[in-house]
């Protein structure tokens, strides 16, 4: 099996000053292509360290994708490190230099002399096109390994991997069949609870059931070779049954995206008013292409109502009025968080709903962003349950139902 590795470069990556989204994207992309990454390392902007890392990894890996360090500044050292490791000189590529000059001329700008550096690659290297940037990519054979050099700009990096590097790998290597991965995301359940119910799930030797916990969701993944599809789909029925109504979506499209498709196909428009989530719910829905008629900020009441039923009726009234103002079929209203309790209301064409939940876990130990994400997902789950024709008042796991609208 091919050993594929990644070498990430840059002091800002090494020291955690930026999040390395390129590494996460590449790992997932290669996995989907049937080339799971074997290892990954990060090196700062230091020539000797880069040369040592490239030499060391080229003795173990079949393919090494080097990301970053192809810019015009003095701390961009990847091309020089590659040439040094290979014992070669850097050679300017006239056609790429002409492309850089044209890039600046088309924008009415003068190219700085330092940009010439981006057209220099090791003498034996194969130039790789970067269709949307000025950094020249290249491939180099070193020891047993083929190294591919890519810029750190995410858009340029992804285009080069998909359009330039992956076709070369398919042409030069006999790649395995991509694995099968079944995914299901739950809300409101504990990882330990789900695991205890699935520990005895019989699986073929090459198939693995995995869990990913990221508050407020638990993702279940069944991964294995494509030839085990029949056995995996049989086991997946058990996973679905255990997840039950807490399974908010399958696949990789998130809940707002899936709800957006359902609302659009049904011709339903949604209005949103929110307080604790502070616009997050509206942003998620709009970003997913959901037909949102309008979004508003819910003004805080002077004090929460001591009468839970009265408080829920007021929130339901707010949802009714919101739908009317925006000529919307549906309206979601998120109230304020009080002592780990929060209320949400839903207006529908036929009925209105409002309920209050208390978090059975200490949600206060999480940051504000995470708490807002929990509540936003709780509101979307209320809408999902109504669309499914299920009882909307449902408490489970660490969400304890404390009051529902009585009228």
- Whether residues 98 and 163 share a domain: the answer is yes
Dihedrals phi, psi of 24, to nearest 5 degrees: -65, -45
Output the DSSP codes for 349-390: SS-EEEEEEEESS-GGGS-HHHHHHHHHHHHHHHHHHHHTT-
- Whether residues 212 and 355 share a domain: the answer is no
Dihedrals phi, psi of 54, to nearest 5 degrees: -65, -40
Residue 240 belongs to domain with CATH number: 3.30.70.2860
Q: Who contacts 194 (Cβ-Cβ below 8 Å, separation ≥6)?
A: 186, 211, 218, 220, 242, 243
- Whether residues 271 and 371 share a domain: the answer is yes
CB of 172 within 8 A of CB of 89?
Answer: no
- Whether residues 243 and 366 share a domain: the answer is no
Q: What is the pLDDT along the chain (407 residues), one digit of tens a residue?
A: 899 999 999 999 999 999 999 999 999 999 889 898 999 999 999 999 999 999 999 999 999 999 999 999 999 999 999 999 999 999 999 999 999 999 999 999 989 999 999 999 999 999 999 999 999 999 999 999 999 999 999 999 999 999 999 999 999 998 888 889 999 999 988 899 999 999 999 999 999 999 999 888 999 999 999 899 999 999 999 999 999 999 999 998 999 999 999 999 999 999 999 999 999 999 999 999 999 998 888 776 544 556 888 989 999 999 999 999 999 999 999 999 887 789 999 999 999 999 998 876 666 566 788 889 989 999 999 999 999 999 998 765 667 888 898 65
Distance between start and end Cα atoms, the chain: 64
Residue 127 belongs to domain with CATH number: 3.40.980.10
Tell me the pTM: 0.75
CB of 229 within 8 A of CB of 195?
Answer: no
- Whether residues 160 and 272 share a domain: the answer is no
- Whether residues 123 and 69 share a domain: the answer is yes
- Whether residues 38 and 94 share a domain: the answer is yes
- Whether residues 15 and 101 share a domain: the answer is yes
- Whether residues 59 and 38 share a domain: the answer is yes
Boundary-marking domain end, from 235, 250, 265: 250
Choose among 258, 257, 255, 290: nearest CA to 272: 290
CB of 306 within 8 A of CB of 356?
Answer: no
Boundary-marking domain end, from 172, 202, 222: 172
- Whether residues 116 and 191 share a domain: the answer is no
Boundary-marking domain end, from 125, 145, 172: 172
- Whether residues 237 and 277 share a domain: the answer is no
Instruction: Cis check for the bond before 216: say yes or no (omega within 30 of 0).
Output: yes
- Whether residues 33 and 162 share a domain: the answer is yes
Helix (H) or strand (E) holding 155: helix 154-160
Q: Provide the domain limits for residue 105.
A: 4-172
CB of 124 within 8 A of CB of 98?
Answer: no
In the chain, % helix, strand, coil (3-state, to 5) comes to: 40, 25, 35
CB of 393 within 8 A of CB of 354?
Answer: no
Residue 289 belongs to domain with CATH number: 3.90.950.20
Choose among 405, 295, 305, 285: nearest CA to 355: 405
Total number of domains constituting the chain: 3
């Amino acid at each position: 099996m091919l050993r594929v590795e990644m070498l990430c470069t840059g002091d800002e990556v090494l020291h955690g000053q930026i999040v390395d989204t390129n590494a996460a994207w590449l790992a997932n992309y290669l996995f989907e292509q049937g080339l799971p990454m074997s290892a990954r390392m990060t090196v700062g902007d230091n020539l000797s360290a880069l040369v040592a890392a490239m030499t060391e990894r080229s003795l173990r890996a079949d393919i090494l994708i080097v990301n970053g360090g192809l810019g015009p500044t003095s701390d961009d050292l990847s091309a020089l490190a590659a040439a040094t490791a290979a014992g070669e000189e850097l050679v300017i590529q006239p056609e790429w230099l002409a492309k850089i000059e044209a890039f600046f001329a088309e924008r009415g700008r003068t190219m700085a002399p330092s940009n010439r550096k981006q057209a220099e690659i090791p003498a034996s290297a194969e130039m790789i096109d970067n269709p949307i940037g000025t950094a020249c990519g290249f491939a180099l054979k070193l020891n047993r390994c083929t190294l591919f050099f890519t810029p750190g700009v995410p858009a340029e990096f992804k285009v080069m991997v998909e359009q330039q590097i992956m076709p070369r790998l398919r042409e030069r290597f006999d790649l395995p069949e991509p694995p099968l991965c079944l995914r299901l995301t739950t809300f409101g359940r504990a990882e330990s609870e789900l695991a205890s119910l699935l520990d005895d799930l019989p699986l073929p030797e090459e198939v693995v059931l995995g869990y990913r916990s990221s508050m407020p969701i638990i993702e279940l993944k069944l991964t294995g070779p494509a030839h085990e599809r029949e056995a995996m789909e049989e086991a997946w029925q058990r996973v679905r049954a255990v997840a039950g109504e807490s399974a908010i979506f399958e696949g990789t499209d998130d809940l707002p995206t899936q709800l957006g498709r359902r609302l659009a196909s049904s011709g339903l428009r949604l209005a949103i008013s929110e307080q604790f989530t502070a616009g997050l719910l509206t942003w998620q829905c709009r970003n997913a292409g959901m037909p949102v008629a309008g979004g508003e900020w819910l003004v805080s009441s002077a004090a929460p109502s001591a009468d839970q039923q009265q408080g829920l009726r007021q929130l339901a009234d707010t949802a009714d009025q919101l739908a009317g103002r925006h000529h919307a079929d549906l309206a979601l209203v998120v109230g304020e968080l009080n002592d780990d309790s929060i209320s949400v209301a839903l207006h529908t064409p036929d009925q209105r709903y409002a309920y209050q939940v208390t978090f059975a876990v200490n949600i206060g130990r999480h940051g504000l962003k995470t708490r807002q994400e929990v509540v936003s997902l709780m509101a979307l789950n209320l809408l999902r349950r109504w669309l499914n024709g299920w009882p909307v008042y449902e408490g489970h796991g660490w969400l304890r139902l404390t009051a529902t609208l009585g009228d």
